[in-house]
Amino acid sequence: MKRVQYDRYGGPTRMYIGESKLPQLGPKQVRVVVSAAAINPFDWKLRQGAMKLFINRKFPKGMGTDFAGVVAAVGSDVRDINVDDEVFGTMDFKESGAFAEEVVLDSHLVAKKPASLSFPEAACLPIPVMTAWAAIFDKAKTSQGSHLFINGCTGAVGASAVQLALARGVKVSGACGTASLETAKAAGVDSVFSYTDRRLQAQKGKFDAVFDTLGTLDVGHGLSMLKKGGVFVDINPTLRRVARGMFSRRYKLAFATMGIKRLSAIADLASEGVLRPTVGLVVPFADAVSAITAIESGTRIPGKVVLSL
Ligand SMILES: NC(=O)c1ccc[n+]([C@@H]2O[C@H](COP(=O)([O-])OP(=O)(O)OC[C@H]3O[C@@H](n4cnc5c(N)ncnc54)[C@H](OP(=O)(O)O)[C@@H]3O)[C@@H](O)[C@H]2O)c1
């Protein structure tokens, strides 16, 4: 079985397409033939070693987290997923490896693919939507009538947050690059600013929640944008930002894993048309290494890049 893997933590040159043996199927697990796998920044951060303290030291390690495909086998205790079901899902970050011909994973990490979505579209959903949900609902507790500001409102996480928020009656403002301003407006963002817009400095005391998807908003400035009792949510913790945020009870961190139980709810929202993932580019699996290298190195492709198998 072919997969993208690496023998040591490090930069893009560590990745290669190599052979790997699938683990034996456990009673609560499923085996899925992968049709599409979406590339998330998390994937190269894992390969760079960002989570190495939490992961075993066995190499080679597989790359890739979010995927969609067809179930080829189910363990003896699996009840709700059957062979031939079309599913999408996300690997546990400790056992990633979705940039592969096949994956074996716990059945609670997959859900049935909405019929209205293609495999590449469904593969775009898990990490971005789980993260957005955890940030704006679990941590910031936005609800109908709240006003939310999203820094990076056109990225995968930001766009998911816009769609989830609007569906719940949350008013959304946000910032994005100048090339993305029209996209943000078309998505329903009420007041849109470019990152360098000076009017951003005047947005003080206006929002119930500020969600920084990029880790570029000054924490002090983000906190000053909040109404009394508002919450600043960060998904790109650095020691400096966490230390800065520790002086405020209104600074919170959110992680994709917090939303793992929600894959079925995410599938329902996608079926209803609330969640509309944007595939920017579909790349053949054979070109996976060059595609990951390009976006990791800053090549800007609007929408998600998805590997096709
Ligand atoms: N804590 C967690 O569990 C968690 C989960 C998921 C993601 N994250 C982190 O959140 C961040 C955003 O993730 P994402 O999946 O939303 O990323 P993404 O889809 O690549 O979006 C990145 C955003 O960055 C902006 N950007 C500016 N220059 C860029 C360039 N050269 N290349 C790519 N983007 C550029 C884009 O905004 P414009 O269009 O406005 O320029 C875009 O909105 C990443 O740092 C990721 O690691 C954390």
Q: Point out the ligand 1 atom lying closest to the alpha carbon of residue 153.
A: 43
- Domain range spanning residue 65? 2-125+277-308
Ligand 1: residue whose CA is nearest its atom 48: 235
Does one domain contain both 6 and 103? yes
Q: Are 214 and 155 in contact (CB under 8 A)?
A: yes
- The whole-number pLDDT of residue 240 equals 84
Question: Which of 75-79, 257-261, 289-293 has the weakest average pLDDT?
Answer: 257-261
Q: Point out the ligand 1 atom lying closest to the alpha carbon of residue 157.
A: 16
For residues 286-308, give the mean pLDDT: 96
Q: Is the model's pLDDT at 157 over the cut of 80?
A: yes
Q: Which residue reads 């996976």 in tokens? A: 288
Does one domain contain both 131 and 112? no
Does one domain contain both 234 and 119? no
176 lines ligand 1 (CB under 6 A): yes
Does one domain contain both 216 and 253? yes
Q: Compute, in angstroms, the gap from residue 25 CA to the centroid of ligand 1.
A: 34
127 lines ligand 1 (CB under 6 A): yes
Q: Compute, in angstroms, the gap from residue 79 CA to the centroid of ligand 1.
A: 36
- DSSP, collapsed to helix, strand or coil, labels residue 253 as strand
Distance CA 181, CA 153 (A): 9
CATH number, residue 35: 3.90.180.10
Within-domain flag for 182: yes
Distance CA 125, CA 131 (A): 10
Within-domain flag for 225: yes
Average pLDDT, the chain: 96
Q: Is the model's pLDDT at 133 over the cut of 90?
A: yes
Domain count, the chain: 2
Within-domain flag for 101: yes
42, 94, 150: which to mutate for ligand 1, most atoms within 8 A of CB? 42
Q: Point out the ligand 1 atom lying closest to the alpha carbon of residue 255.
A: 3
For residues 12-18, give the mean pLDDT: 98
Does one domain contain both 117 and 139? no
- Collect all residues with Cβ–Cβ distance below 8 Å to 62 and sequence separation of at least 6: 3, 4, 5, 20, 95, 96, 97, 98, 99, 100
User: What is the per-residue pLDDT across 170-198, written as a single tens digit (0 to 9) for each?
Assistant: 999 999 999 999 999 999 999 999 999 99
Does one domain contain both 145 and 249? yes
